[in-house]
């Protein structure tokens, strides 16, 4: 378990949030799955739902804009301590910025766009909201990785953005991004089993006590299992969707 009382270092995944077509039903689903409670903002913040786990910030849910043709999906946000400079660097390195930097009241500053391979992500410069304040316990953020059609281009983009290093996992086109000895995130090549129509994208992982039990609960709550649960070097995994098709992984993490 990790808890945070100050903003994370630049380049660290700091927040996950969900764009959902039905926020009320999404809140019900994730409350039953992870035990979250929610603080719902006022109209000035679009009634954003901030999920909490035992009183600590865990993840967020936002209403999808009417008429959007984008699917419901989870987004990953990386910490920054200078969003103006990092947004400019983002563009210089070949990424595309959709909007930002935008100031969200006293909560912080936000930029959203894609890396050079088309994967959507965001930058978050903390104000009152520092991102997730608890990670790596059941119901909290555990890991994230990008699936990309050009793993070298994506890897080099994030390393250049934040002066990171990388290590390739043996036997696969998967790179773990590092700051010193700290593992921040993964970047994986999408192979021929992925349809060309699926764009490069980030994938969040949430910790659970038991991946098989959590996967069964997802189905009972109206979600889907994308593949059978399986073991990995870092814990037992389940790849699932919520009732609106937003995909994420569940991981029963092994002891360090």
What are the pLDDT digits (tens) for 229-253? 999 888 999 999 999 999 999 999 7
Residue 239 counted as domain residue: yes
* Same domain (yes/no): 27, 96: yes
* CATH code: domain of residue 92: 3.10.180.10
Q: Please state whether the peptide bond connecting residue 101 to the residue before it is cis, i.e. omega within 30 degrees of 0.
A: yes
Structural contact between residues 189 and 213, judged by C-beta atoms closer than 8 angstroms: no
* Same domain (yes/no): 159, 69: no
The conformation of residue 180, written as its DSSP 8-state character, comes to T
Q: What pLDDT score was predicted for residue 66? A: 77
User: Chain-wide mean pLDDT for the chain?
Assistant: 95
Residue 255 has pLDDT above 70, yes or no: no
pTM of the model: 0.95
Residue 68 has pLDDT above 90, yes or no: no
Residue 179 counted as domain residue: yes
Structural contact between residues 122 and 16, judged by C-beta atoms closer than 8 angstroms: no
Q: How far apart are CA 188 and CA 193, in angstroms?
A: 13
Which domain covers residue 175, as residue numbers? 134-253
Structural contact between residues 224 and 72, judged by C-beta atoms closer than 8 angstroms: no
Summarised one tens digit per residue, pLDDT across range 153-198 is 999 999 999 999 999 998 889 999 999 999 999 999 999 888 888 9
Strand-by-strand arrangement of the 96-104 sheet:
37-40, 49-53, 56-63, 13-20, 73-79, 120-126, 108-114, 96-104
Number of domain units in the chain: 2
For 90-114, what is the mean pLDDT? 96
Query: How sure is the predictor about 101, in pLDDT bands with cuts at 50, 70 and 90?
Result: very high
Select from 126, 161, 188 the last residue of a domain: 126
Q: What pLDDT score was predicted for residue 43? A: 84
* Same domain (yes/no): 200, 236: yes
């Amino acid at each position: 378990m990790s808890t945070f009382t100050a903003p994370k270092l630049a380049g660290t995944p700091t927040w996950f949030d969900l764009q959902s077509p039905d926020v009320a039903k999404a809140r019900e689903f994730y409350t039953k799955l992870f035990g979250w409670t929610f603080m719902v903002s006022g109209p000035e913040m679009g009634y954003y739902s901030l999920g909490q786990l035992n009183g600590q910030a865990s993840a967020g849910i936002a209403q999808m804009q009417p008429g959007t043709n984008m699917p419901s999906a989870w987004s990953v946000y990386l910490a920054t301590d200078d969003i103006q400079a990092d947004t400019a660097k983002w563009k210089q390195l070949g990424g595309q910025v959709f909007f930002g930097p935008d100031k969200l009241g006293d909560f912080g500053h936000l930029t959203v766009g894609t890396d050079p391979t088309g994967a959507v992500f965001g930058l978050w410069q903390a104000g009152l909201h520092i991102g997730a304040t608890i990670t790596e316990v059941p119901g909290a953020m555990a890991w994230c990785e990008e699936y990309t059609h050009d793993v070298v281009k994506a890897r080099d983009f994030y390393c250049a953005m934040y002066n990171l290093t990388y290590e390739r996992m043996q036997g696969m086109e998967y790179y773990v991004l590092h700051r010193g000895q700290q593992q921040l995130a993964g970047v994986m090549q999408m192979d021929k089993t992925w349809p060309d129509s699926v764009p490069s994208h980030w994938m969040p992982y949430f910790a659970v006590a038991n991946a098989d039990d959590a996967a069964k609960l997802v189905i009972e709550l109206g979600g889907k299992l994308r593949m059978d649960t399986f073991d990995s070097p870092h814990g037992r995994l389940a790849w699932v969707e919520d009732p609106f098709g937003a995909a994420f992984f569940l991981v029963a993490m092994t002891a360090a």
